[in-house]
Structure 1
């Protein structure tokens, strides 16, 4: 398991560079790393549909570290992986596209299983982008609205569609219209953050996982584990 670490004195945000979109957070490096194995097992079950049977912990190889000025304790991130700077081939893009769409579709399935989209058990809390989304409806809207922002960072302008799956399809169609799609050009985006197509695809999945996990735990707290769909194989 290859890990990319963002850190500061408030905590650690650790990404997987070979299980695209998987991540963990912790107040310390060891706390975050101790969650990594569980996250990867859940990710493998989600991405393959197969139960992960290996009971031994996998080796973690730290391939990149970045000290950050961001609120990484709230999953604010700007790192560009070294592995995200290389050109894509069409087969790799197609595999990543399938995962990006699976993530959106599973997010919607989880959302649709929640009886009341405006009920919450979460207390208000401010983060770097304002008040956290607390209801299923707020989480869905927030997760969907970053689509236009992410692809704008690689030079594409679209208006968000209200349905997360349709919005993701529309975004990917716009991406595929780029004449230099597979070159994976590095763009200097807003807030001095660098972006590539690889990074955008990873961020779609990563951002979905953050808010799907919060949505699932909130919904199970209210309606119970048997009523709420769990396509991401999250554990409580």
Structure 2
């Protein structure tokens, strides 16, 4: 089905696309073309939203759009900016249509409250960036905007008296009052107000802006739905930041053990009576427990807190269960348990992830849990680092530990990359002037360089790669060569080269990693050291990405 779309285009190209036949369906994009490209998915999502709320709506797979009108000179679509009046907005609205809008507004408000109604203060007051609004401020803005839209149709003397002292109300009482009084005003609109064209001069910097009841109702609904998605994105970014922190903690933990041979890792007491392998088994056991309890809660079941009730007993059993298992199996469980748990955490709806819930006689939420786990791993990393002072780094170490560290470093990098929204992957600078796409291309290029040398050493010959005397110039040259590549090409290279590196590592034995060759940068080098360069480079840029997103 084809839907008529009306566009508002700002001087810088920023575009809002409105599907006026689907009240509340709106897309905001940096360009006109991108807005049109996103519309079919937005329309399908809107129709699914209607069906979720019991409204009849087709389940359309084929959706097309037709630009029915375009208004220029508007934007940047911030609070108080003028908005276009489209031809359909000029049509008088019937009482029955008003009721339909109010019904859709009720669905939108239910969505908003389901998302934000149970958020703890920490989440409500979370500021994604220094210049960003908190969720609490966004919610206040939604309430204030509702009375403003109503005031476009009514003179000041007819506005509710409650609005004169509304800022003193607690947040959700404020939202309830604003909506209740706004709905009452809209239901009382007379025929003249439902059909008229108004130029309100109060509470505006644009007295020339025309308003009708249909435009006010359209913007009322669009506005709340837009900001509900903004809140969802703020929460999503907060979750991604927490997961990026967790991934970095895992990398730090394993990094403390690099350069140690397997005998030291499994046979020397490191923390009390525990060996380094025991510490890793202990960490993996708690990850597996967290994964199991998260799964129970996701299904609406109560978690089993018996382990948390007697941590010493749980720890003793966990370490004993893995005591006679090979280091490689412990490391595999460490990786698999964490991957399974993180996968569950990512699948939780934002409202479930952030909701505080009664648990074990107190209150609890997933963000707090992740912070506890991060501190737990950092505490063990610090203890292992202290123990390491008696075991200086050597030129090589356990292959199994190296493989696990590379996997953790890659997960750290990917978790940091997920901080960047898809819309900003090729546009927002995250490392100097480089975008995420530039960073990933740069990593792929250096890993391809290292891959060539590692393939040589795996074949028993010295690395044949050329010495790079000026790395900055090398970086600029390769970045320029990738500048016009599509994201898909860069991503495929980023993934493919790294997979090839892992295949080389898989084919090498412990002795192969320790074999010395004439170096490219130094007199002698080992394959082990080249794999460490891969890890260090990934972690360096993961840190760049976290800093760019204030993590």
**1:122 matches 2:122:** no
Q: Which residue of 2 aligns with 1:174?
A: 185
Alignment of 1:133-212 (within 5 A): 133=133, 135-155=134-154, 156-158=158-160, 159=163, 160=166, 162-180=173-191, 183-190=194-201, 191=206, 192-212=208-228
**SS of equivalent residue, structure 1 residue 144:** helix
Q: Which residue of 2 aligns with 1:233?
A: none
The superposition leaves residues 89-136 of structure 1 with CA deviations (integer Å, 9 ceiling, x where unpaired) of 2322211110122212221221114333434251133xxxxxx42x22
Superposed CA RMSD in Å reads: 2.8
Q: Which has the higher helix share?
A: 2
Provide structure 2 residue ranges, at least 5 long, that are not aligned to the other structure.
240-345, 353-421, 423-551
Q: Which residue of 2 aligns with 1:7?
A: 9
TM-score by length of 2: 0.37
**SS of equivalent residue, structure 1 residue 187:** coil
Q: Which residue of 2 aligns with 1:84?
A: 89
Q: How many equivalent residue pairs? A: 224
TM-score by length of 1: 0.82
Superposed displacement of residue 146, structure 1? 0.8
The superposition leaves residues 165-190 of structure 1 with CA deviations (integer Å, 9 ceiling, x where unpaired) of 44212112122223326742111124
- In 1: Cα distance, 2:80 partner to 2:42 partner: 15
**1:112 matches 2:111:** no
For CA contacts below 8 A with separation 6 or more, give which structure has more relative contact order: 1
- In 1: Cα distance, 2:82 partner to 2:152 partner: 14
**SS of equivalent residue, structure 1 residue 64:** strand
Kindly tell me: are residues 106 and 97 of structure 1, through their superposed partners in 2, closer, same or farther at Cα, counting changes over 3 Å? same
- In 2: Cα distance, 1:200 partner to 1:46 partner: 22
Superposed displacement of residue 83, structure 1? 0.8
- In 1: Cα distance, 2:93 partner to 2:193 partner: 5
Q: Find the partner of 1:220 among 208, 228, 236.
A: 236
**SS of equivalent residue, structure 1 residue 62:** strand
Kindly tell me: are residues 5 and 146 of structure 1, through their superposed partners in 2, closer, same or farther at Cα, counting changes over 3 Å? same
- In 1: Cα distance, 2:347 partner to 2:215 partner: 33
- In 2: Cα distance, 1:84 partner to 1:179 partner: 17
Using the TM superposition, name which of 17-26 and 160-169 deviates more: 160-169
Q: Which has the higher strand share?
A: 1
Q: Which residue of 2 aligns with 1:129?
A: none
